[in-house]
Structures are given as C-alpha cells and as structure tokens.
Structure 1
Amino acid sequence: MRYISNNEKIKNFLLLIIGAIIYGIGASCFVGPANIAPGGAVGIALMLNYLTNLPVGALTLTINVPLLILAWRYLSHRFAVKTTISCIVCSVILDYLITPNFPVYNGSRLLGSLYGGILIGIGMALIFIAGCSTGGTDIAGYLLQKKRPDVSIGRALLILDGIILTFSIFVFHDVDAGLFGMASLYAETKVIDAILYGYDAGTQVSIITKEPEIITQHIIDDLERSATIINGKGGYSDKELSIVICVVRRSEFSTLKSIVRESDDKAFVIVTEATEVLGLGFKNIAELN
C-alpha cells in the first residue's frame, strides 16, 4: 500500500470538510427548498424529508448503511471505511452546521436547481479529490458493476438516478420536480467533469518512467486497477525506458497523480481524456454495432 504522509492526510481531510460544506449548502439551501431530488442518496433523503420532516443528513446516512455493509463485503474494506467516514462527515455538517445556520433560497425554482446542482458538483469533486466518496448510487453502481462487469458504471448510475428522479414526481406530486431534478443533475455532473475529467468516459494516463513495476503495483493495490507496461527507448537519450498505460475514472485520477509523484518525481506523464472506453469495467465491447 502507498504510504500517505501526515500533510496529505490533513490536506485530504480539509478537502473533505470544505467539500461537505459546499455539498450541504447546495442540498439544503437550494435543492431541498425547491422540492427537487437530483439522484443519489441525498435525493432519496430529500424525498423522505418531505414526507417525514426528519433531518436530511441523518436520512442520508441511514440510507447508506446497508450499502456500506455491502461495500465492505463485496468491494474493499478500505473503500468502505473511507466512504463511511465521508458519509458521517457530510451528514453531521448538513444537519448541525448548514441546516440550522444557513438561509435557504426561495427564488426561481430553475435557478435553485441549477445553483444547487453546481454547488453539489463542486462539493462532490472536492470529496473525490480527497480520495473519498459520498456513497449512495456510487456504491450501488460499483456493486452492480462487480456483479455485471459488462455494465458500465456510467450506465448504472444513469439508471439508478433515473429511477430516483421518476419517484420524485410521485412523491412531490409534481412533474416539474423530475424535470428540474434532471437540470440539477446535469449541472452537477458537468461541474464534476470540468474539475476532475470525464466520468465513465475515463482518463487515459501514459507514464514514461524508470519505475514501472513500483507504479503498476501501487495502481493495483491502491486503485484496484491494472496497467499495461510497454518497453521503449528515448529518442534523444537513446536509453531504455518503460511506458505505463492506465485508464482511470474521475474519482481515481487524483490518487494516480499522487502515486506517480511519490514513485518517480522525474516521470513524464501524458493525460488524455478518453471519450469512450471499451472493455472490462467500462463499456462492454460486445455492445458495439
């Protein structure tokens, strides 16, 4: 496992706190008052809050509990622990800091959905950079992909969030709830994409390095992914070198950069946004026409 310094731990924790605050403002001050459920566990929690008036943070954490147990059993213990910490932090900040102290936006419903989606997206991006996850449909998507490797995470999340948006129409007795929810979800995903790179499209990273085995082993251990090592030769130096090629998702890219920096700070890294990724863990190549 990659050693994480105390400074990096502090930085990641601060990013988690800041991300949770921004995430909570978007959910509690903009999306919630507009009766919008933009997918994810927080979307389900907002619908339950509308029906029961129970705290949104506590409901979000409760919804995540069975998913976290499944993540512990079927995904990885490290992922489950980090996601649990993230969920607890987000829930506590939402219920005890944001909801009691921040004013709600009661203006245009469209603006509320867009600004809420943007803030939630920024918050989630910072949480992803910290190496954590907000749980909810993220866990459900990974679990589905574990069971059905041919189903991409992007498609799984689209299906799950679509179901939540459809239910919101009946819970709020308002077709606009689903439509504004779609607008909010679109803004959220676009902001995340802009900050962290594409979602299931993926990011291809080519690493020219003298430490291919170390970097590849960290990719396997820390990201639970694999990589391809290609032998090459420098055109100017005429020295033997290796190229490590890896494709990761948005929530993994920050960790990959840290792996490269700590393994070989003289590595040459080329990052390319892959508009389509085919194969195990992404889109099934059999789906091609």
Structure 2
Amino acid sequence: MKNKLKDFLLLFTGSVLVALGTYFFLAPNRIAAGGISGIAIIINSLIPKLPIGGLMMCMEIILFLLGILVIGPFFGGKTIFCSFSISGVILILEEVFPNIKPISDDVLIQLIFGVLICGLGMGIVFNQNASTGGTDIIAKIINKYFNISIGNSLLAADIIITIAATSIFGINIGLYSILGVIINCTLIDKVIKTLNTYKQVAIISSQGEEIKRYIMDILERSATIYYAKGAYNNNESEVITTILTRKQFIQLKEYIGSIDDRAFITINEVNEVVGEGFTFS
C-alpha cells in the first residue's frame, strides 16, 4: 500500500509539472512542442473558444483505448490518471489565471524553462511505467516493440505536430517548437537514466559479518559473497557485493567508515536493474 501511494504521488507530481510547464511557458507563446498539448495549442489558436484543457481531455480518450489494448490495463490505468490530472490542473489554471500572457519578451528563455519543466515531469511519469497520454502512448508502443528509447520514440511521434506548428504559427515559432521537441526528448531519456542509476558495490573488510547484517537488516538489500585471493600475499579474502540506491550507498559508506577505516571498496554505476527487490518495466 505504501509503495502504491508513493507511485501515485510521483505520477501526480510529474503530471503537475507537465501542466505548469505547458500552461505558463509553452501555451502563451504558442510553442507546440509536440504531444496532445501541442495539438491543443494549435487548435486553441485557431478556435480560441475551445479551452486547451478540454481539448486535451477529449483527444486523449482514443489514445487511452489504444494504450490499454496494446500495452495493458495497468499501464492504461496509470496513464488515465496522469492524463486527466494534467488536463484537470490546466482547466483549474485557466479558471484561476485566465488569458495568461507570456511572462517575458524572450521566447527562447520561456521555451527552455517550459520544456525543462515538462521534460522532468514526463521523465518521472515514464519511469513509473506510465505516460502523460496523447502521443506519449504512441512513443511507449514504439519503445515496447522496437526497443527504441522513450525520448527517440517521442521525437518520432511528435515531429508531425512541430511541422503543423510551423505551417500555422510561422517559421520562427515552428523552429522553436522543433527545438523544444529535441530538448524535451533528450531530457526525458536523461531523467529516466538518472532515476534508474544504482551503485554496484564490492567490499573487502575485516568486519564482513557486521557489514552483511547492516546491508540485510538496515538497508533491506541482499548481497552476494565470493572469495578472491590477493596477488601480493596470496591471502584469501571475502568479497561482499550488493546493488544499492544512491541514498543507501551513502548510508553504507558512512557505516563502513565508522567500523573499519581500512576497508577496501569499489563502486560502479549500473544504469538499470531488474529482478527480485527491483521492478520490471
């Protein structure tokens, strides 16, 4: 129950970030940086009476069904939660801050901030095996069946929208939209990689039993033991290996330092871990 609550809090946080970046930075400048939000911005510019949030909510229904059919109901359920969270937050923002205007004359700065905020939010959502709806669902399908990164899959799905933005808003806004899509897709891959980076640790210590108990009892991780012989004196040593999050590694490092300042530790970064104790996605 605690893990599920954490997952949905992360999904909601990511969704709110996407809504804020879209409404305050991209939409006022008519920057259609891909996705359903980009399509909604284009339609809203042509028919201002149609609200961006409402347009997004309507267009997402068809793609929801596609995601549920192709990827599965669990993915579909989380995507529905994220998509309606984004649309709902934008609808609320439209009521609280109606007729929002660009916050500065520098479109590039607003593009960068908007895309950074949206890309961070989308990366968090994708890392929870969900999507923000719209073309993100298409990107997830491409990622599943063609083993292309989420960022590159999203780039392929969004390029048509940026071309449409160019034809409607002009070459300058179109080029900003293309730049936004490229930054966004690159950032999403970077966020996912960062969130899935773990520390693979190998430890040789005279306090091996205490360290093993700390890993299992306090950090609640397992460990693998193997034996190695030193080349200098041919002594056989016990090597403890484990994989930890960044926070857990810091805790372990501090603990080892407090009980054995002569311990030998090697650390490698691991970009993805699946299996017992870790999630499959």
Task: Give yes or no for TM over 0.5.
Answer: yes
Tell me, what secondary structure is at the counterpart of 1:132?
Answer: coil
The number of aligned residues is 222
Give the Cα separation in 1 of the matches to 2:20 and 2:149.
30
Determine helix, strand or coil for the equivalent of 2:131: coil
The within-5 A match list for 1:41-80 is 41-53=36-48, 54-80=50-76
Does the CA contact (< 8 Å) of 2:151 and 2:186 recur in 1?
no
Task: Give the superposition deviation at 1:31.
Answer: 0.5
Poorly superposed stretches of 4+, deviation over 6 Å = 202-208
The answer for the alignment partner of 2:238 in structure 1 is: 237
**Runs of 5+ consecutive residues of structure 1 not aligned to the other structure:** 209-230, 245-255, 258-267, 275-289
Using the alignment, how far apart are the partners of 2:141 and 2:10 within structure 1?
A: 26
Aligned equivalents of 2:13, 2:141: Cα separation in 1: 28
- Answer whether contact 1:19 1:127 (CA < 8 A) is retained: yes
Q: Deviations over 1:59-86 (max 9, x none)?
A: 2222221111111112111101111111
Per-residue deviation, residues 68-123 of structure 1 (Å, max 9, x unmatched): 11111121111011111111111111111x22324543421111211111111222
Higher-Rg structure is 2
Question: What secondary structure does 1:237 align onto?
Answer: strand
Determine which of 111, 114, 128 is the counterpart of 1:113. Answer: 111
The 1:68–1:100 alpha-carbon spacing in structure 2 relative to 1, beyond 3 Å, is same
How far apart, CA to CA, are the structure 2 residues paired with 1:169 and 1:136?
20
Would you say 1:91 and 2:92 are equivalent positions? no
Q: Following the alignment from structure 1 to structure 2, what is the Cα–Cα distance between the partners of residues 269 and 91?
A: 43
Moved more, 83-92 or 18-27: 18-27
Verify the 8 A CA contact 2:15 2:132 in the aligned structure 1: no
The answer to which of 43-52 and 129-138 deviates more is: 129-138
Q: CA RMSD in A?
A: 3.6
Counterpart of 2:167? 170
**Partner secondary structure for residue 105 of structure 1:** coil
CA contact (8 A) 2:29 2:107 kept: yes
Q: Which letter maps to 1:170?
A: S
User: Structure 2: how far apart are the matches of 1:183 and 1:67?
Assistant: 25
How much does 1:164 deviate? 1.1
Matching residue of 1:142: 140
Greater length-normalized contact order (CA 8 Å, ≥ 6 residues apart): 1
In structure 1, C-alpha distance between the alignment counterparts of 2:152 and 2:185, rounded to whole Å: 14
Partner-residue secondary structure (3-state), 2:125: helix
CA distance in 2, matches of 1:137, 1:161: 7
Percent identical pairs in the alignment equals 27
- State the one-letter code of the partner of 1:237: E
TM-score, normalized by length of structure 1?
Answer: 0.63
